[in-house]
Amino acid sequence: MEMPSLHPRPSDDREREELDLNESLAMTAVIHGTVQGVGFRYWAWRHAEKLGLVGHATNNSDGTVTIEVEGPRWALQELLKSLNSSDTPGVVMTVDAHYGPVTGRFSEFTRN
């Protein structure tokens, strides 16, 4: 027996929206785990720089690291994929990421 889909199929008369992978966006990611004192911000800076992203990485008093970056959607997705990989220094438990409009307040990537 086939289960009904929980998601309706797009109607034939409606065009599918294509994601613009070059659209500039801002992303704020809070990384939870053992991510302070292990070179995590340096690692994030190097990855963001390779992807052409601008922003900063900051240690928070609760042991998390916040990364705020801006750049093309495809680069933000690549950084997020890297943040969730096993290649990071320390131990990443979860990454809470949120997207928004570009603010233009960054001109390079810094580590605070």
Q: Which residues are annotated as catalytic?
A: 41, 59
Cα of 38 vs its chain's centroid, Å: 20
What is the spatial distance between Cα 92 and Cα 102, in angstroms, rounded to a whole number? 26
- According to DSSP H, which parts of the chain are helical? 40-50, 73-83
The CA-to-CA distance between both ends of the chain, in Å, stands at 56
Neighbours of 105 (CB within 10 A): 11
